[in-house]
Amino acid sequence: MRFFLLILALTFCFACKTDSNTSKPRIVRKDLGSAVVDDFEIVNTFKHDPKAFTQGLTFYNGFLYESTGLTGRSSIRKVDLETGKVLQRYDIAPDFFGEGMTILNDKVYQITWQDGLAWEYDLDSFKLLREFRYPGQGWGITNDGKNLIMSDGTHVLRVINPENFETIRTIPVHKDNGLELQNINELEWIKGEIWANIWQASVIARIDPESGKIKGWIDFDSLVKEEARDPSHEALNGIAYDEKNDRIFITGKLWKSLFEIKLKSGK
């Protein structure tokens, strides 16, 4: 009986993290407080692998790089932006659930959900170079050009030394009403801000990396409703920034499209 209950509990937990439930987003526009809520326009639409359970996304040297999740289906990929074709792929061991990824100093860093493992790969070959351990869960990861910045599903971001994966400092994130911003997921560093997907929400938070205060929100509710083919595909997840050409890309888990977007405010 205990074994059965354990399996049942694990199944329920897995279902929650894979967004297979049909609950509404936990954060809607009225919950965002007084911080600026920005709208967006779509500049371009590109193909995206509808079987890719997107956990991490970045743009580097002219290509998209993507980390996908689900146990037995997790990978890192190099993708041609214009066609959506996967040019290079490395499948991680089937025991692990891949989460966010980022690229720093021509090294790819990928984290795992519940295994407390991070991997460093060679950018060109995807050869595994090093393995690190960390406490707690891994959700999203980005970098500020010097250090890694990681989320774990709570309201606290960790600034991490890429040489040993030790935490240098933490960034507690709060909404302007003082409440903690929970469920911080995929991350991207954009123009000195941390942009964050929020699990099960149709918004992206723009976070000040020094204070942890939310500088603004971007409301993607209309796009999520349009792109989602059924409730399991509603998760907005995946932000990438092309710094050279000042382009922002977003997608979601199992979405068929990737979008280049521009904020209507122009910020």
Asked whether residue 198 is domain-assigned, the answer is yes
Asked if residue 73 is part of any domain, the answer here is: yes
Q: How confident is the model at residue 224 (pLDDT cuts 50, 70, 90)?
A: confident
18-52 burial, b if ≥16 CB within 10 A, otherwise e?
bbeeeeebebeeeebeebeebebeeeeebebbeeb
Q: pLDDT-based confidence at 150, cuts 50/70/90?
A: very high
How many angstroms separate the CA atoms of 262 and 248, rounded?
A: 7
**Statement: residue 6 has pLDDT above 50:** no
The mean pLDDT value for 170-177 works out to 92
Predicted pLDDT of residue 177: 83
Helices (DSSP H) in the chain: which residue ranges? 2-17, 221-227
In a domain, 5, yes or no: no
Q: What is the pLDDT of residues 151-160, one digit of tens each?
A: 999 999 999 9
Asked if the structure places residue 14 within a domain, the reply is no
CATH of the domain at 66: 2.120.10.30
The model's pLDDT over 128-138, given as tens digits with 9 standing for 90+, comes to: 999 999 999 99
Write out the two tokens for 46.
Answer: 């590109």
In a domain, 235, yes or no: yes
Q: Which domain holds residue 254?
A: 31-263
Query: 244: number of CA atoms within 13 Å, CB side?
Result: 5
Total domain count, the chain: 1
Residue 109 included in any domain: yes
Is 19 inside any structural domain?
A: no
Instruction: Give the separation between CA 150 and CA 186, rounded to whole angstroms.
Output: 9
Assigned domain for 20 exists: no
Residues 8-63 have pLDDT tens digits of 444 444 444 554 333 444 455 556 666 678 889 999 999 999 999 999 999 999 99
